């Protein structure tokens, strides 16, 4: 539905779950559609694209900013994860977002918290292999956020392709009344996939990080020229990445985009996904090879 109601000038900031639930209940009572963009803040153009899609298609847009501790492993970057609430609020206001939900960790996970929800199988591949806590934390917090915000539509970027598939499975398997809207990955003008973690990169590391999108582009060109062997494509990506310093490959996966099963031959729709540590940042990128 296109928004027709009068919008307020400033964003409503909510940190209490009870208050957020009350606002959503009132919007639902007025038959207004709720669009929801869950984030961990440090907003960039990729987030703003999700927000734009929500503003265009829903009466009210709620954005959450919550750095979710349960999706970080013990040696990961929870403490150093960038937090820029004031500048994020400026961006949300400029975009015309109606409500910001930014709960504290204690509000979301009070002492004695003990319930987690897990999507099996597809959570165990790719990022789930090297970050075993990741998807259990994501599905738990996303289900909690859906229960609090009660959106009609929730918007997620295809940069986190596996996360999207896991959330779609969560919604389908638990019969949740929310439509998951996929939004294509957004790149910087030089090809680097947008990510909050890009700001950890030094200028040298940023140059190195370009090899992710460059190696994917080269892979797509090779496939167009007739290469069908997944090993050949994976070897060429590895070679492209290995040429760069400070580049530590976590995985190169050439797999089915729904089951995440590795492929030997590139036939049918195929996902090529990478995770690479560049300096302090673990970066991911992907592309889809459509059936040809």
| Min CB(140)–ligand PAF separation in Å | 9
Compute the distance between CA of residue 218 and CA of residue 220 in angstroms, rounded to an integer. 5
Q: Which range touches ligand PAF (CB under 6 A), out of 108-116, 122-130, 136-144, 216-224?
A: 136-144
Q: Which of 38, 46, 128, 279 binds ligand PAF (CB under 6 A)?
A: 38
Would you say 37 or 252 has its CB closer to ligand PAF? 37
Is 128 an interacting residue with respect to ligand PAF (CB under 6 A)? no
Ramachandran class of 42: left when φ > 0, alpha when ψ lies in -120 to 50, beta otherwise:
left
Whether 44 is catalytic is no
Is 103 an interacting residue with respect to ligand PAF (CB under 6 A)? no
Is 141 an interacting residue with respect to ligand PAF (CB under 6 A)? yes
3 state DSSP class of 250? strand
Beta carbons of 153 and 179 less than 8 angstroms apart: yes
Q: Which range touches ligand PAF (CB under 6 A), out of 36-44, 216-224, 246-254, 272-280?
A: 36-44
Q: Which of 34, 99, 142, 148 binds ligand PAF (CB under 6 A)?
A: 142
Is 88 an interacting residue with respect to ligand PAF (CB under 6 A)? no
Would you say 98 or 160 has its CB closer to ligand PAF? 160
Is 40 an interacting residue with respect to ligand PAF (CB under 6 A)? yes
Q: Which of 14, 27, 63, 138 binds ligand PAF (CB under 6 A)?
A: 138
Q: What are phi and psi of 251, to 5 degrees?
A: -150, 155
Is 233 an interacting residue with respect to ligand PAF (CB under 6 A)? no
Instruction: Give which of 282, 278, 126 is closest to 210, Cα–Cα.
Output: 278
Q: Give CA angle at 108 (105, 113), nearest 5°.
A: 100
3 state DSSP class of 279? coil
- The residue from 47, 102, 125, 152 that is catalytic is 47
First and final C-alpha spacing in the chain: 35
| Min CB(142)–ligand PAF separation in Å | 6
Q: Which range touches ligand PAF (CB under 6 A), out of 12-20, 32-40, 94-102, 115-123?
A: 32-40
Is 68 an interacting residue with respect to ligand PAF (CB under 6 A)? yes
| Min CB(167)–ligand PAF separation in Å | 7
Compute the distance between CA of residue 39 and CA of residue 41 in angstroms, rounded to an integer. 5
Beta carbons of 244 and 237 less than 8 angstroms apart: no
Beta carbons of 71 and 141 less than 8 angstroms apart: yes
Give burial (CB, 10 Å; 0-12/13-18/19+) of 133. middle
Neighbour count for residue 106 (Cβ, 10 Å): 9
- Tell me how many helices (H) and strands (E) the chain has: 9, 9
Is 151 an interacting residue with respect to ligand PAF (CB under 6 A)? no
Residues annotated as catalytic are: 47
Interface contacts to ligand PAF, rule CB under 6 A: 38-40, 68, 71, 138, 141-142, 160, 163
């Amino acid at each position: 539905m296109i928004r027709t109601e009068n919008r307020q000038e400033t964003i409503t900031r909510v940190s209490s779950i009870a208050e957020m639930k009350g606002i959503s209940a009132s919007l639902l009572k007025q038959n207004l559609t709720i669009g929801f963009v869950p984030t961990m803040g440090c907003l960039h153009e990729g987030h703003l694209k999700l927000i734009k899609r929500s503003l265009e298609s829903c009466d009210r847009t709620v954005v959450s900013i919550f750095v979710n501790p349960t999706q970080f492993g013990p040696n990961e970057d929870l403490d150093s994860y960038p937090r820029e609430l004031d500048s994020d609020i400026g961006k949300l206001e400029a975009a015309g977002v109606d409500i910001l939900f930014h709960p504290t960790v204690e509000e979301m996970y009070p002492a004695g918290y003990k319930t987690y929800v897990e999507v099996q199988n597809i959570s165990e591949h790719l990022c789930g292999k090297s970050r075993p806590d990741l998807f259990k934390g994501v599905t738990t917090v996303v289900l909690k956020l859906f229960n609090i915000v009660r959106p009609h539509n929730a918007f997620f970027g295809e940069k986190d392709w596996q996360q999207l598939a896991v959330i779609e499975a969560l919604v389908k398997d638990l019969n949740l009344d929310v439509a998951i809207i996929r939004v294509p990955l957004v790149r910087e003008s030089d090809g680097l996939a947008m990510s909050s973690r890009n700001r950890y990169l030094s200028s040298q590391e940023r140059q190195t990080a370009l090899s992710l999108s460059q190696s994917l582009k080269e892979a797509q060109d090779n496939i167009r020229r007739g290469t069908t062997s997944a090993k050949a494509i994976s070897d060429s990506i590895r070679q492209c990445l290995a040429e760069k310093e400070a580049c530590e490959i976590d995985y190169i996966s050439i797999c089915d985009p729904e089951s995440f099963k590795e492929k030997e031959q590139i036939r049918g729709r195929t996902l090529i996904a990478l995770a690479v540590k560049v300096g302090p940042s673990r970066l991911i990128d992907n592309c889809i090879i459509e059936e040809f």
